[in-house]
Amino acid sequence: MNFKNISSRINFILGLVLFVACSSSSDPAPTSTSSTVPDVYKKIYGATSVTSDGTYITIKTNALPDHTSVYYATNNALYDNFSGTTFAGYTFSKNPNNISSQTLTFKIPLDPKVASTHAATPMGPIGVSVNGIPFFNQYAAGGSPVTNEIAGFDQWWGHPQNSGQYHYHVEPKYLTTVKASKSALLGFLLDGFPVYGPEENGKTLVTADLDTYHGHTAATTEYPSGIYHYHITADAPYLNGSGFYGTAGTVSQ
């Protein structure tokens, strides 16, 4: 075989390789089945996972507080033999329950909208805080006023119910005084709208400053263009008033 034929064959092979390479690079990339989780939901540091399908944010948590509590087992590193005064000046009185790990899955709207009909909040979890602890509404077991249970709140103003599920009915003091601040993002309710602390623009809010659902629309650090959001206050109903402002997602446990 002479050099001319060899050269022709080499040129043919190189051309074929370039053709295949160019054809492959023009093929569409595989489509991902998951959407990127927006940065604001990455602030939920206590979740075991936070994912999105483009319509809902799914938050999974074991509901174990990252702070001390008298409700942990005595051999737990976070056990603290608390006594003294708890929320609203009540003298602490320990309830008979202890903290145990949970399997909670919150599925909330990625793009929350005001509901045409505002549903009442259920007993049990109505939202999730940034440290993975559920928010409960303003009622105690059986729908009685939560004032019947306040004496059982630990030094961080939470407590477990009879299955060991630790939760907050009122301000999560650890988040507002240690982990973050009184004006910080504290979590989300099931309708996808955020929950903030009791301070805004240097003012301590009370229920009278908010609407019937215990929120209002204003700019926040995370939502500079403004968004409807709830506020925790020191006075009843503490977190939520006459139901969800938006259409609630789901929680399974």
Q: Does pLDDT of 146 surpass 80?
A: yes
The answer to whether residues 65 and 78 touch, using CB atoms and an 8 Å cutoff, is yes
Q: Confidence band (pLDDT; 50, 70, 90) for 226?
A: very high
Note whether residue 24 is domain-resident: no
Q: Structural domain tally of the chain? A: 1
Q: Confidence band (pLDDT; 50, 70, 90) for 213?
A: very high
Q: Does pLDDT of 80 surpass 90?
A: yes
Q: Does pLDDT of 187 surpass 80?
A: yes
Percent of the chain with pLDDT over 90: 85
Omega prior to 194 cis, within 30 of 0: no
Q: List the domain range (segments joined by +) for residue 76.
A: 39-252
Give 241's contacts (C-beta < 8 A, 6+ positions apart).
207, 210, 211, 212, 213, 214
Note whether residue 225 is domain-resident: yes
Percent of the chain with pLDDT over 70: 86
Q: Confidence band (pLDDT; 50, 70, 90) for 34?
A: very low
- Rounded average pLDDT over 160-181: 98
Note whether residue 2 is domain-resident: no
CA–CA distance, 91 with 94 (Å, rounded to integer): 10
Note whether residue 248 is domain-resident: yes
The predicted pLDDT at position 36 comes to 85
CA–CA distance, 217 with 110 (Å, rounded to integer): 17
β-strands 127-129, 166-167 pairing: unpaired
CA–CA distance, 108 with 247 (Å, rounded to integer): 9
Max Cα distance, the chain (Å): 102
Note whether residue 120 is domain-resident: yes
- Rounded average pLDDT over 59-81: 98
CA–CA distance, 233 with 237 (Å, rounded to integer): 8
Note whether residue 3 is domain-resident: no
> What is the per-residue pLDDT across 240-253, written as a single tens digit (0 to 9) for each?
999 999 999 999 99
User: Which long-range contacts (C-beta less than 8 Å, at least 24 apart) are formed by 77-80?
Assistant: 80/155
Note whether residue 19 is domain-resident: no
CA–CA distance, 113 with 233 (Å, rounded to integer): 23
Tokens coding 13: 């092979």
Q: Does pLDDT of 190 surpass 70?
A: yes
Note whether residue 31 is domain-resident: no
